[in-house]
Amino acid sequence: MLQVQIVPVTAFSQNCSIVWDKDSKDAILIDAGGEPDKLQAVVEELGLNVKALWLTHGHLDHAGAVGKLKALWNVPVIGPHKDDAFWLDQIQEVSARYGFPIPEKVTVDQWLEGGEVLTLGEEKFEVRFAPGHTPGHVMFYNQNYGLLWTGDVLFKGSIGRTDFPRGNHQQLLDSIQRECFSLPDETQFISGHGPLSTIGYEKQHNPFVASQAG
């Protein structure tokens, strides 16, 4: 049985998801964006065995704790798409600019293209390539539980910013239409910031994309 605990990290209140199999206690972290000691403490309190760190994209508030946790747990970093390598390469510089603690460098073990299937125990997670907020953004979808991790693509009532280097507004809208709105309306999604929502709700009420919903 799949379990999820959301742990907000950094001054940007980024939703890091700790996802685990209830029986085996094997776990992955999606977007370990900062405060590695806090995340380590939660993992230890839950008694979990972390197997990998997954990334939706390369921004500081989604990847800031990854370098330290990778070394701590000796686990692979999976994702995002290689087009976000330039963001990960400058994560220390960006951290200094924001006045954040300087994180350890992030080394990716497996870049994703979209279409791959990642596993945690018996559960399968489909990788969905969704550029726009960043050029290499990916999302993770578990059909069995109807759960989608959207990173900074889609939020409750909003969408991701596209004013960063290599952001593209139309590309983002296309990604939402193709990779989010193609899923069942009852699909619940966990975004990078803010509360959970459903695909159906956003099709009806999200002012940025509702008019696009087919």
Tens place of pLDDT for every residue, the chain, 214 residues?
A: 999 999 999 999 999 999 999 999 999 999 999 999 999 999 999 999 999 999 999 999 999 999 999 999 999 999 999 999 999 999 999 999 988 889 999 999 999 999 999 999 999 999 999 999 999 999 999 999 999 999 999 999 999 999 999 999 999 999 999 999 999 999 999 999 999 999 999 999 999 997 666 5
Q: What is the per-residue pLDDT for 159?
A: 98
- Structural domain for 50, as ranges: 2-212
How many domains are contained in the chain?
A: 1
With a threshold of 0.85, does the pTM exceed it? yes
CATH at 137: 3.60.15.10
- What does the H/E/C string look like for the chain? CEEEEEEEECCCCEEEEEEEECCCCEEEEECCCCCHHHHHHHHHHHCCEEEEEECCCCCHHHHCCHHHHHHHHCCCEECCCHHHHHHHHCHHHHHHHHCCCCCCCCCCCECCCCCCEEEECCEEEEEEECCCCCCCCEEEEECCCCEEEEECCEECCEECCCCCCCCCHHHHHHHHHHHHCCCCCCCEEEECECCCEEHHHHHHHCCCCHHHCC
Q: What is the per-residue pLDDT for 212?
A: 64
